[in-house]
Amino acid sequence: MFPTCNCSTSSLPARATSLERTLSQARHYVGTIEKDPEGGHSFVRKKNSTVRFVVQWLDAPEESTKYPSIDDIERANYSAVTLGNLETWSVPPMTYGEKPEAHPDNHPVVSAFQANFVRGGLVLNMHHHHYANDVMGWSGFTHQLAENCRAALTNTAFPTWDLACLDLSRLTKKEMADEVKVDGPPQAERHPGHKVAQLLLFHLPKSKAAQLKTLASPTDGSWISTYDAFSAFIWRTLTRLRTPVFKPNPSSHIFWAEAVDMRRRMHSPKVHPRIQHNVMFAALSSTAPVQQLTIDEILHAPLSTLALYIRRMTSSVTQENLDKTLDMVAMVRDKTSLNIRIDSHPPMSILQTDHRDANIVSADFGFATPLTYRHLLDRVTEGVIIIYPTRDNNPGSDEGPEFSMAYEKHLADDLINDTEFRMYFEYRGVDAEDARMPSRCCS
């Protein structure tokens, strides 16, 4: 989302040219995903391949009750609910979700873009298939686009693009003969125990994050990060509030997972910070070499125990472990069978994805810098927690990260009004509703 800016029609050619230049650099964004004769999948770009770039104006004064202004969107903390039907703001069928159109066997388009001009600003919707990039790959693409756009608008030299950003040889394994391959597990389905969920948005001020880190720090001097501290506190709180409802066995384990960016963890050799594609791994409580915590421990052990568990989970994600996993993946005939669905796990399960390093508010596009960004959702996947970066990089600001948490709709008030949780986290509203559910709230 961009604030009031140089949004005149005359600047659109420069923006389109900048996008075209960036797409010529991140070449896999152009075209479709196709199935190979050998059974794998490839990004396919043909001579006539194009990327859709749609421009629409939703800023007419007579439609002020139909479409929000940028001020309306900002006041609502950039909630997807404020936008209404996301298909209006998107290039079909590229709204979020695991759906037939996105399956790699169905020739999905890799990317599309839509610029929505509203009263007082711009909502730029950047679509890409998840096979093309993880969040930090998208961040690298977006910062490159911003630099190209700024150069075009200011008549300065364009930034370079290192071809190492496309070099995945370090992550590529030799194709195995079909006779030695094995079939993957059957595709998991959504767990029947889930209830209707919505995404709730919370803010953790920097000063409160510091307090949480002090609260969760081990007494023996072992190091934990702020991430470990707030993750432990969230895990304990959600478990405490959900346990009376779902009544799990206190000696059982809760599935807890996190996506881990590997760009900073690769060392032999190091990879480019803007390397494209999914250069990430996941720490899964069910497979990590770390003793799982029981529900009783999550609820009653010192908070430092949870924080240290999360630190060990993250630390277990190494280049060496990734290499071993890729060797195993190479043996699987249909790689799509390895897709992890967090909503296939029982209620109370958690999958965290940390976007804090994306730092989109620092991307100078030449015509403006973004107010923030959101992963626009109209489908809610149970168990997901998205951690957004701060909106304000000013060292003197107390603005911290934001958390979009999938949470059972009928239990939402318990979390929002929980006294202990409110000591640290500020509620900022409903971030997204599930459009598939008849009870969806409309703006």
Q: Are 241 and 286 in contact (CB under 8 A)?
A: no
The string of pLDDT tens digits covering residues 338-387 is 988 999 999 999 999 999 999 999 999 999 999 999 999 999 999 999 99
pLDDT of 440 reads 36
CA 51 – CA 113 distance, rounded (Å): 8
Q: Are 263 and 270 in contact (CB under 8 A)?
A: no
Query: In the Cβ-directed half-sphere of 19, how many Cα atoms lie within 13 Å?
Result: 22
Q: Are 142 and 372 in contact (CB under 8 A)?
A: no
CA 316 – CA 205 distance, rounded (Å): 29
Let me know if the fold of 10-162 is the same as that of 197-433: yes
Q: Which residues pair with 253 in a beta bridge?
A: 294
CA 410 – CA 412 distance, rounded (Å): 6
- Average the pLDDT over 50-61 and give the result: 96
Under the banding of pLDDT at 50, 70 and 90, the label for residue 129 is: very high
- 202 class by beta-carbon count within 10 Å (0-12 exposed, 13-18 middle, 19+ buried): buried
Q: Are 39 and 165 in contact (CB under 8 A)?
A: no
CA 260 – CA 287 distance, rounded (Å): 15
Question: What's the maximum distance between 2 C-alpha atoms anywhere in the chain?
Answer: 65
pLDDT of 8 reads 56
Q: What is the dihedral of CA 268, 159, 137, 181, to 10 degrees?
A: -60
* Sign for the pseudo-dihedral over CA of 19, 21, 25, 27: positive
pLDDT of 439 reads 42
- Give the residue carrying structure tokens 């709730």: 200
Q: Are 333 and 182 in contact (CB under 8 A)?
A: yes
Query: In the Cβ-directed half-sphere of 413, how many Cα atoms lie within 13 Å?
Result: 1
Considering the four listed CATH numbers 3.40.50.10330, 3.40.50.360, 3.30.559.10, 3.40.190.10, the one that applies to the domain covering 10-162 is: 3.30.559.10
CA 255 – CA 348 distance, rounded (Å): 8
The string of pLDDT tens digits covering residues 143-199 is 999 999 999 999 999 999 999 999 999 999 998 888 999 999 998 999 999 999 999
CATH architecture of 197-433: 2-Layer Sandwich (3.30)
Domain boundaries defined on the chain: 10-162, 197-433
Q: What is the pTM of this model?
A: 0.95
β-strand pairing of 256-261 with 350-354: parallel
- Give the residue carrying structure tokens 């390093």: 357
pLDDT of 236 reads 99
